[in-house]
Chain A
Amino acid sequence: MARMKFLCDAERCIECNGCVTACKNENEVPWGVNRRRVVTINDGVVGAEKSISVACMHCSDAPCMAVCPVDCFYRTDDGVVLHDKDLCIGCGYCFYACPFGAPQFPSAGAFGLRGKMDKCTFCAGGPEPDRSEAEFKKYGRNRLAEGKLPACAEMCSTKALLGGDGDVIADIYRERVTRRGKGAEVWGWGTAYGPGNPGAKAPPQPPATR
């Protein structure tokens, strides 16, 4: 089974926000909630400006999962971290625990009352029956069940945002880095999936001994 991951290539991201638009459109995300957003550092500084697209990274050891008091999170066979909105109480612990600021809370009334948490699902829906109306309303489109990748990654015009099996996208990225000879660092990869850099060359194999 594949282990689904996101990878954003900061050398290629042009801050077009196409991924943000694609996500909002595909999943009909309500006002005030952004499952994905583009972050730019050193804005306006020539040569130092970098942009990255950030959403839930579906961490290997997800902190949101560890802190949830009602255990509404689960992980699919593909390694996608999802949650059950019927169990969520909107406490916000996951928001404080997440290093990427992925959990979002729609405003659900006066005095800043929070609704149930909403986040990127890797376009894999939720615990409702696949491709059902209930699943779409609560979690958005289930593209994985249709044999498609997340809308944000498929929509990316420069292919800065890669999504899919960790091994496949790491191979694509490694080849890219080898060709251009720079930009091996991947933001957030170590935080989400542990030590290891997909842009780094494979360590040399020891010579075979007899």
Chain B
Amino acid sequence: MKALLLIVLAASLGLAACADRDEPAAGSRSYQGKPDAHSWDNVPQERASLEARLKLRQLAQDEQRRISQ
């Protein structure tokens, strides 16, 4: 009886060791590194001017617009 109990215990422990761990599904994990702060976080009024400058440079890529000015 004791031997049977030992065998059952050993078998259950052995099988448990073979079990797969739960893995998160692809894409469900997320970036855990350093947060990337915005340059305007400390100076909020800087954001509008920065975005305006960026927009101006994007529009300047259109030579038709530049020629017509």
Contacts and interface: CB of A to CB of B under 8 A. Distances in A.
B50 interface: yes
Given A127-B35, A147-B50, A71 B29 contact: yes
A144 B49 CA distance: 12
Contact of B54 (A73, A128, A149): A149
Contact of A73 (B31, B49, B59): B31
Interface in B1-57: 26-27, 29-39, 49-55, 57
Contacts of A128: 34
A20 to B, nearest CB: 19
Interface residues of A, number: 37
A163 B52 CA distance: 16
Contacts of A165: 55, 58
21 contacts: A71-B29, A72-B31, A77-B38, A84-B31, A84-B34, A86-B34, A127-B34, A127-B35, A127-B36, A130-B39, A144-B54, A145-B50, A146-B50, A147-B50, A148-B54, A148-B57, A149-B58, A159-B61, A162-B61, A168-B58, A179-B64
Given A127-B36, A149-B61, 20 more contacts: A2-B54, A66-B27, A72-B31, A73-B31, A74-B31, A74-B33, A82-B36, A87-B32, A126-B36, A127-B33, A127-B35, A128-B34, A130-B39, A145-B50, A147-B57, A148-B53, A148-B57, A154-B57, A163-B58, A179-B64
Interface of B: 26-27, 29-39, 49-55, 57-59, 61-64
